[in-house]
Structure 1
Amino acid sequence: MKNMWKPLLFSFIALNSVSVANAQEKKDSLKSEAPKPKEFKIFNKKATIGALLVGDYANSLTKDVDMNGKHNPTASDNGFYLVYFRVNGKFAINDKLSAQILVNFADFKNDPKNKVLEIAALKWTPSTYFNVQVGQFRPYFGLEDMYPAEIMKSYAWSNQYSLLGKSNWESFQIGAAVSGSLSKKKIPLRYYYTFYNGNGKNQVQDNDDAKNHALRLEYDLLPKLQLGVNKALTKIDNQNASMFGADISYNANLSKLWKAGFNTEFKYGTNIYAFSAATLAGKDVSDYKMTGFYIIPFISRAINESNKSFIEFTCRYEYLEDVNKNGNVGRFYTPMLSYVMGEDYTSKISLVGVISDYNKDVANSTQYSSNLLLLQYQIRF
């Protein structure tokens, strides 16, 4: 009887050892399958290349006005025009450091000097609260600076954007910017500060000691309603110049098929372009103020869910006074009907009306009342 207990005891000890070993193996297995914390990698290179092609056929409906809306009795009143052939490269060195290059080959049709290269910038994003960008890019100063050309709601940038670009408040500039978001703190606020030369793109060096300072704040009043405010400062001929802006954007889903909203923007400040062009002795920068305002309501209806196609109608109204009191007031009406494929506007074809109404028509210039009809096409790949 005593001899029988020995093998039983040995068997119990052996089974218990196997059980403990199996349990430890499962525990180790679970450890190995658990997700590892994300580690910062010095190098994790990725590259993406994209392209955008935009062109149009324009027909002037006004006598002695050419296809570009300029008063020119000897020029063609209709023809094809290539707006953009942009190639965009984004190069990520790791999850925090990246570079972007954007060139517009369509500018080779004119004098390409200081034109073709649009963006060449390096971006460091250590957190959502603080990001740094250096190089050539569009300074963050206004609603139109916050999205690329391919998704804008009209056929071209607003006239105020073009005027502020000539004054080097907006459009492509060389400088640095810091930005961030407080969304992680449950505060719907974003900030952008840009410090730049203010003398245009692709310049060898700055043309004076003054620099431009631009601050933009965005606040989400509601989930679909955003308010933006902007302020920019600089000096020109040792005189203080400034620009103020405010904008509102709204975008809502009315139903499964219908979407609607609007973008609107106001700008008031120094027209540096007009001030620099003036030849008056002792000119005062305070005499060269401009005022601009536009609103673009839009509505769209989904057509085909498989290719994400939809029809969109927009109509931009714009008021622009290039120099207050002594300048020329222009009012612009731009209805546009588009057929779009892809939520990110992969392809689009648009029928556009461009109606310009100036208080004073200036011969041999674009400040001339006219009516144009455009057929525009766009492809992204």
Structure 2
Amino acid sequence: MKRFLILLLPAILSILQVAGQETPKADSTKAKITMKGLFQARYAFSSHKDIDINGLQHANGKAIYNDFDIKRARLQFTSKISDRTDVVLLLNLADFKSDPANKVLENAYITYRLNPYLNAKMGQFRPAFGLEDMYPVDVIKSLDYSNQYTAFGSNGWQSFQIGASIYGAVPGAVPVKYELSVVNGNGRNQTMDNDNGKHFSSRVELGLIKSLKMNLGLNGGLATVQGSNVYATGVDLSMVLPVCKKWKMEIETEFKQGDNHALYYGLDSAKRVGGVSLYQMWGMYFLPNLRYSINYHRLSSLEFSCRYEYFDNNFRHASNPRQTYTPMIGAEFLKSYNARIQFGVNIDHYKKNIVGTTQYDNQLFVLQVQSRL
């Protein structure tokens, strides 16, 4: 409990700072529903014919190494039922292409805004536990979220989870944004929690240098899973460096570490060695994105990025780190990524290749198009 209070202390102080301040009066509004959408399609092919597009190495050489795919076909509905309350639903219809169990429904939550400093949310949403939780995938500066985002999502810290949170922002010389979350931690669209433990997490984001849009994020969480105490922690930094009139460099970097209880409890009990604390993961990524605002007819900008990732999902027990390079070029049409074309390649290098698994060196080329509705 002491460790958890230490993790929440920055956010608690932020709340106390604004206690007693006058709540701004809100204008009454009529109930209305808005709809948005996202379409993403891609063509992907592996440079090795014995490795499929999911990265699985086939010893018999029979792999599906190229494929057209609808990655996302999302519809989002937002109902503003009062001046303080919103209900949000987000569906990914592309999930119907396979078994839709525990899929399709992504966001389903209600928010209540007390004032700018204190708000509440309950339902299924992405708890704030890192820089990648701060924006949707359609504006990401690479082809997709990082490997560590996927792994920490599988462990209940990120991606879509069921629970509740309080969040807000505190202005000042150093602006502060915070979010405190408690979730089941066993993924989206589950009939119930798989144990009585919950994931408690916090994120505090500090606005350091306004002219550079420099933000520092601090993340921490504690949970009880199948009777074992587990943790996760992380830090991230983002900024925008102006180069000249039409050029700017956007930089993101993030580090995370925590127990990989999903791996531990996914093993047969006879194959486990020691406790869950021996199964730990850590990762980092660095993502520079050079953006050129061209504004030529309908072409708004060109982007050039190369994300570097280092991730090890079991560094204390059976380390086999994965290094991933993702060079990419993208063209933005219209505004706000309403139309976008990207071409890039995921280059994976493992310390050791393991036959018949996804832990195998590969290069996956991807051509992706998207449109925001």
In the alignment, which residue of structure 1 is the partner of 2:351? Answer: 359
Match of residue 306 from structure 2: 315
In structure 2, the residue matched to 1:119 is 107
Instruction: Tell me the amino acid that sits aligned with residue 253 of structure 2.
Output: T
**Structure 1 contact 58–68 (Cα < 8 Å) conserved:** no
Runs of 4+ off more than 3 Å: 37-40, 280-283, 305-308
Give the AA of the match of 1:123. Answer: T
- CA-to-partner distance for each residue in 1:151-193, whole Å, 9 max, x for gaps? 011111101111111111211000000001111x454111110
Q: How does 1:1-381 map to 2 (within 5 A)?
A: 40-41=27-28, 44-72=30-58, 73-183=61-171, 185-223=172-210, 224-280=213-269, 283-304=274-295, 307=298, 309-325=300-316, 326-381=318-373
- Structure 1: which amino acid aligns with 2:276? V
SS at match of 2:115: coil
> Cα offset for 1:95?
2.1
CA distance in 1, matches of 2:120, 2:25: 22
155-164 or 354-363: which moved more?
Answer: 354-363
143-152 vs 163-172, which deviates more?
Answer: 163-172
Task: Work out the CA distance in 2 between the residues paired with 1:342 and 1:242.
Answer: 43
- Give the TM-score of the pair, scaled to structure 1: 0.87
User: Retained in 2: the 8 A contact 1:192–1:217?
Assistant: yes
- Are the equivalent residues in 1 in contact too, given 2:290–2:305 (CA < 8 A)? yes
> Comparing 82-91 with 307-316, which one deviates more in the overlay?
307-316
Deviation at 1:236, TM superposition (A): 1.9
One-letter identity of the residue aligned with 1:263: E
**2:366 and 2:73 mapped to 1: Cα distance?**
18
Paired positions, count: 343
1:125 is paired with a residue whose SS is: strand
CA distance in structure 2 between the aligned counterparts of 1:222 and 1:259, rounded to whole angstroms: 16
Calculate the TM-score normalised by the size of structure 2.
0.88
How many angstroms does 1:237 deviate by? 2.7
8 A contact 2:46–2:52 mirrored in 1: yes
Q: Distance in 2 between matches of 1:284 and 1:38?
A: 53
SS at match of 1:199: coil
Structure number with bigger Rg:
1
Mean Cα deviation higher: 278-287 or 86-95: 278-287
For structure 1, list consecutive stretches of 5 or more residues without a partner in the other structure. 1-36
Following superposition, the deviation at residue 124 of structure 1 comes to: 0.5
Task: Look up the equivalent residue of 1:207 and give its one-letter code.
Answer: N
- The aligned amino acid for 1:56 is R
- Looking at structure 1, the residues matched to 315 and 256 of structure 2 have their Cα atoms a distance apart, in angstroms, of 13
Q: Relative to structure 1, is the Cα distance of residues 122 and 52 closer, same or farther in structure 2, using a 3 angstrom cutoff? A: same
Residue 259 (structure 1) shift: 1.5
Assess if the C-alpha contact under 8 Å between 2:43 and 2:69 holds in 1. Answer: yes
Q: Distance in 2 between the 1:202 and 1:294 partners? A: 29
| Identity %, equivalent residues | 38
1:118 alignment partner, SS class = strand
CA contact (8 A) 2:174 2:208 kept: no
RMSD between aligned residues:
1.6
- Name stretches of at least 5 consecutive residues in structure 2 with no aligned partner: 1-23
